[in-house]
Amino acid sequence: MAVQSTVSGQPQNKSMRDQFERWLASRHPGAAVAAAALSADHTVLVDAGWDGQPHRLVVRLGSTGQFETRLQYLTLQRLSSQLMRPTVPAVLWCEDDPGPLGAPFFVMTRLDGLTTAKYQTPYTFASWITEATSAERDRMQIATLEQLARVHAAAPADFAFLDHRRPGESALSAHVRETTERYEAVSSAGLRAPLIERAFGWLTEHWPSEPMPVLCWGDARIDNAIYRDFGSVALTGWQHATFGPRELDLGAMILSHRFADLLARVAGRPGLPDFLRPGDVAATYADITGYHPGNLDFYIAYAALVHAIDTIRSPQRTNAFRTLDEAMDLATDHLSTDRGTPMTGER
Give the 3-state secondary structure of residue 88.
Answer: coil
Distance, in Å, from the CA atom of 47 to the CA atom of 36, rounded to the nearest integer, reads 7
Largest CA distance in the chain: 68
Q: Which of 47, 219, 280, 297 is catalytic?
A: 219
What is the H or E stretch that residue 78 is in?
helix 66-79
- CA dist 41 and 62 (Å) reads 10
DSSP 65: -
Active site residue 18: no
CA distance 91 to 35: 20
Q: What share of the chain is helix, strand, coil (3-state, %, to 5)?
A: 45, 15, 40
Question: What gap in Å lies between CA 174 and CA 177, rounded to an integer?
Answer: 5
CB of 109 closer than 8 Å to CB of 90: yes
Active site residues: 219
